Homo-oligomer: A and B are copies of this chain.
Amino acid sequence: MEKNIDSKLAAVKKHILEMGGFVEKALMQACQSMEMRDISGFGKVHEIEKRINEAQMQVDNECLNILATQGPVAKDLRFIMSILKINTDLERMGDLSVNIAYSGKDFLNYNLSIGIKELNRMSVLVRDMVGQSLDSFVKADQELAQKILLQDDEVDYIRDIIDGELIKHMKSHPQDVEPCMHLLSISRNLERLGDHATNIAEDVIFAFSGRDIRHGGRFG
């Protein structure tokens, strides 16, 4: 016998939040291994990413099942649509954490401190955004979701500072081009993680208000 739609929606919500927890863990693991210069720590990111990928397929299947058997409408349908989008974002965020682990591992072959302070600041901010985007979803908190949209501008600002520092350093110390490239790659991946947290915030606003704020709608 079919379970009712509310219990199915609660189950898929639980699963996507577990998946979000894995993403937070993967990102924290990648960033902390970098900060602690702990090469072995990067391997754990790959393990966590596997669980993210499994969760993605499970969540997609659950949504498909709810759509096929429950015929959700109005806010339930918007909720499912948002879960499908958040699911895609979280999976990419797992990939990006793995990218950070790869670049971090390569970077640790070198000893360079330039840009690291700003990179750590960026990493704390992005991890905060990721955590808050999931919180805003759990609590249906549109105000918190709006706050994340502003934090994304700060991430871009720090990225520009890092770019400037590293480009300047590469020009005066061309022997350091490789480690600088690894740091630039980490900074780009963090930036993209911030973008995905922003997507999730936009999905939360859509799910709980019905307002589509993509493409400038946020100012509308």
Contact of A57 among B74, B81, B215 (CB under 8 A): B215
In the complex, are the beta carbons of A64 and B88 less than 8 A apart? Answer: no
A146 at the interface (CB under 8 A from B): no
In the complex, are the beta carbons of B177 and A171 less than 8 A apart? Answer: yes
A167 at the interface (CB under 8 A from B): yes
A132 to B188, CA, bound (A): 29
A85 to B175, CA, bound (A): 43
Contact with B along A2-18 (1 / 0, CB 8 A): 00000000000000000
Within 8 Å CB of A178, what residues of B? 167
Interface residue ranges of A169-220 to B (CB < 8 Å)? 170-172, 174-175, 177-178, 181, 184, 188, 212, 214-215
DSSP class of A's interface residues: helix, strand, loop or mixed? helix
A92 to B88, CA, bound (A): 12
A77 at the interface (CB under 8 A from B): yes
A216 to B34, CA, bound (A): 28
Copies of this chain present: 2
Q: Which residue of B lies closest to A95 (CB)?
A: B195
Within 8 Å CB of A215, what residues of B? 53-54, 56-57
Contact of A67 among B57, B77, B184 (CB under 8 A): B77
Minimum distance in angstroms from A140 CB to a CB of chain B: 19
A68 at the interface (CB under 8 A from B): yes
A182 to B184, CA, bound (A): 13
In the complex, are the beta carbons of A214 and B84 less than 8 A apart? Answer: no
A212 to B77, CA, bound (A): 23
A73 at the interface (CB under 8 A from B): yes
Q: Which residue of B lies closest to A168 (CB)?
A: B177
Instruction: From A88, A163, A171, A177, name the one whose CB has the most chain B CB atoms within 10 angstroms.
Output: A177
Within 8 Å CB of A77, what residues of B? 64, 67-68
Minimum distance in angstroms from A133 CB to a CB of chain B: 17
Within 8 Å CB of A84, what residues of B? 81, 84
A212 to B54, CA, bound (A): 12
